[in-house]
Amino acid sequence: MIGLIRAVATATALLAFAVVLSGCAGTRLGDMISAVQGYTITQGQIDTARATYNGTVLAPLHRYAVLPRCGPGKSFSISVPCHDKAMLKKLSDADLVVAKAFDDTQDMVTSGNTSGSVAAYKSLNTAIDVVKGLLAASGAAML
């Protein structure tokens, strides 16, 4: 009996701790709690994510891609804008991952798979964060 009471008390304390941390940890833990509570991804969220991605990632990526290639030993700068071939390849590959993540999320929402759509949407946001990080590292985010 005492063991059961301790187990319940421990579980309650852990849940309370998780709820407290959700405010500090940002959206990741909050997203997990929302998913458990039946949170769903809507078509509007996908459309907003796509429009935001197009404006904040694809537009600068395109401007970076059309710059002349950097010469040997040169790197991107505002005074001498150019693109690095290896970085452009990384950005293009990461963009393909985001496109697949958009497709996967859309498929889950269209099929009505609530838990799958939440997981796919989280993966989509992670993929977008990776591309944004690469853009910042390349200097293309300034374009």
Which residue ranges make up each domain of the chain?
40-142
Taking the model in full, what pTM does it have?
Answer: 0.70
8 Å CB contact between 61 and 95: yes
pLDDT digits (tens, 9 = 90+) for 58-113: 999 999 999 999 999 888 888 889 999 999 999 999 999 999 999 999 999 999 99
pLDDT digits (tens, 9 = 90+) for 29-51: 555 555 455 688 999 999 999 99
Partner residues linked to 83 by β-bridges: 69
CB atoms within 10 A of CB 70: 18
Residue 5 pLDDT more than 50? no
Upper half-sphere CA count for residue 125 (Cβ side, 13 Å): 12
User: What is the C-alpha to C-alpha distance for residues 35 and 115, in angstroms, rounded to an integer?
Assistant: 7
